[in-house]
Amino acid sequence: MDFQLNEQETLVRDMAREFAQKELLPRATKHDREETIDPEVFPMLAELGLMGMTIPEEYGGAGMGNAELAIALEELNAACASTGVTVSVHNSLLGSPITKWGTEEQKQTWLPRLASGELIGSYCLTEPNAGSDAAAVATSAVLAPDGSGDWIINGTKIWVTNGGWAGLFLVYVRTNTEASNAKGMSAILVPADTPGLTVGKKEHKTGIRGSSTTEILFENVRVSGAHLLGEVDKGFMIAMDTLDGGRIGIASQAVGIGRACLESSIKYAGEREQFGRPIGAFQAVQFKIADMATRIDAARLLVQRAAWMRDRGERCSLQAAQAKVAASTAANFAADECLQIHGGAGYTDDFHVERLFRDARITEIYEGATDIQKIVISRNLMG
Ligand SMILES: Cc1cc2nc3c(=O)[nH]c(=O)nc-3n(C[C@H](O)[C@H](O)[C@H](O)COP(=O)(O)OP(=O)(O)OC[C@H]3O[C@@H](n4cnc5c(N)ncnc54)[C@H](O)[C@@H]3O)c2cc1C
């Protein structure tokens, strides 16, 4: 067992940290207020290899694993969680499944364009009546009656991260109405410029306000049969396997937000004086910092374990769910304590604290809410 980062992981951490602190942190408030990400950020991310972390080098990616992706995501999210989730979804919910399930033609067509940042990726599972119950997807894909093998897609997806700027959507559709819910779904790659695909309502959110979250509408959207990812009616399995990786990404996001809260708290507790001494001299404040640090470190170790298992090709649904529960609850705990330590100053936007508090909240909701993770954990343990 080795708890030290290896040489490559150390390089990734240092590179991502330097970029995040220099380029993202100064933009984080702007991203939050303007509800978008500065467009020049995407080429910079691509230049550093951060848009193709797990894409093999032969397809233009960095050829790394989930461990390196998790390390990079912690750094990006410690600076700007809006950018962090954009990168997480792009890598783990689109680059990774095409790498794992794609045909050679699909890999050659899409992976270099995702790795270069030419196309941003998006994952469309959720619908108005299919949230936690993801197998209840109603968006339909039927074979064209002309025998061409094309699919015709109709339906509405909601809360699609990167929806406003994605060039490629991985869309989960119902292809079999006879089979049980989970057994009648397929995954189809749909380019954003396909006629009939439109970007609908943009959400105005509590946190991660810079990230794009939209409805995506499909009206007689026609794509060739070559756009099917994996086998027909096996899409639910792809969706769930992909989410194992995605949850490691969101857990990394939570660790990054939690760490930013911890660092901000330590700094402020050393500077702010009351009763003639820094507030960090009071044991009540010291204990808050001790609890934050312990929970965040524990969460990071669970993230690294899940990533390590996934990189070895082992199933890690249990470990990814545990990492997500631990990290998202740690982040929200840390954000709450951080705001408390900052007192009134933390409740204004003079500091990053109120943004961290808002950004942390989503980590307990998306890619499976906390109670859904607990269902995954208990099912894995109890059958
Ligand atoms: C900002 C944002 C970005 C998102 N990005 C994407 C994206 O890119 N792609 C995508 O497909 N989706 C995305 N989502 C959707 C997200 O994954 C869902 O919101 C999430 O899975 C929860 O679904 P829901 O919101 O419908 O909540 P519901 O399913 O309505 O759940 C509401 C509450 O009920 C609880 N609950 C539900 N069922 C059970 C149960 N069986 N046992 C116990 N408790 C239960 C839940 O834990 C939750 O607390 C995003 C959502 C948000 C808010």
pLDDT in tens, 142-195: 999 999 999 999 999 999 999 999 999 999 999 999 988 899 999 999 999 999
Ligand 1: which atom is nearest the Cα of residue 208? 1
What confidence score (pLDDT) does residue 306 get? 98
Helix (H, G, I), strand (E, B) or coil at 282: coil
355 lies in the same domain as 244 = yes
What confidence score (pLDDT) does residue 32 get? 98
Tell whether 57 is covered by a domain: yes
Tell whether 366 is covered by a domain: yes
- Can you list the positions of beta strands (E) in 250-296? 273-274, 277-278
Q: Are the beta carbons of 339 and 333 closer than 8 angstroms?
A: no
222 lies in the same domain as 97 = no
268 lies in the same domain as 338 = yes
Name the residue with tokens 């109603």: 138
**Residue with CA closest to ligand 1 atom 2:** 159
Give the whole-angstrom CA distance, residue 115 versus residue 47: 9
b/e 345-357 (16+ beta carbons within 10 angstroms → b) = ebeeeebbbbbbb
CB atoms within 10 A of CB 93: 24
What DSSP letter does each residue of 69-110 carry, written as one string? Answer: HHHHHHHHHHH-HHHHHHHHIIIIIIIHHHHHH--HHHHHHH
Give the whole-angstrom CA distance, residue 376 versus residue 383: 10
94 lies in the same domain as 159 = no
CATH number at residue 78: 1.10.540.10
241 lies in the same domain as 372 = yes
Ligand 1: which atom is nearest the Cα of residue 161? 8
Tell whether 167 is covered by a domain: yes
Tell whether 1 is covered by a domain: no
CATH number at residue 147: 2.40.110.10
138 lies in the same domain as 204 = yes
What confidence score (pLDDT) does residue 351 get? 86
222 lies in the same domain as 270 = no
Cα(369) to ligand 1 centroid in Å equals 6
Cα(250) to ligand 1 centroid in Å equals 14
169 lies in the same domain as 289 = no
Angle at 83 between CA 217 and CA 87, to 5 degrees: 70
Tell whether 294 is covered by a domain: yes
Give the whole-angstrom CA distance, residue 130 versus residue 124: 11
Total of domains in the chain:
3
Tell whether 224 is covered by a domain: yes
306 lies in the same domain as 366 = yes
Give the whole-angstrom CA distance, residue 15 versus residue 19: 6
Residue that is last in its domain, among 191, 213, 233 = 233
Domain of 104 in residue numbering reads as 7-120
What confidence score (pLDDT) does residue 44 get? 98
241 lies in the same domain as 376 = yes
Ligand 1: which atom is nearest the Cα of residue 132? 29
What confidence score (pLDDT) does residue 209 get? 98
87 lies in the same domain as 143 = no
Residues with CB under 6 A from ligand 1: 89, 123-126, 131-132, 159-161, 205, 213, 362, 365-369, 371-372
Q: Are the beta carbons of 186 and 114 closer than 8 angstroms?
A: no
Tell whether 221 is covered by a domain: yes
Residue that is last in its domain, among 62, 90, 120 = 120
Tell whether 87 is covered by a domain: yes
Regions in the chain scoring below 70 on pLDDT? none
Q: Are the beta carbons of 99 and 242 closer than 8 angstroms?
A: no
Cα(2) to ligand 1 centroid in Å equals 36
Question: Would residue 367 show up in a list of annotated catalytic residues for this protein?
Answer: yes
Q: Are the beta carbons of 184 and 154 closer than 8 angstroms?
A: no
Ramachandran quadrant class, 162 (left: phi over 0; alpha: psi -120 to 50; beta: rest): left
27 lies in the same domain as 79 = yes
Mutate to test the pocket of ligand 1, among 122, 329, 372, 374 (most ligand atoms within 8 A of CB): 372
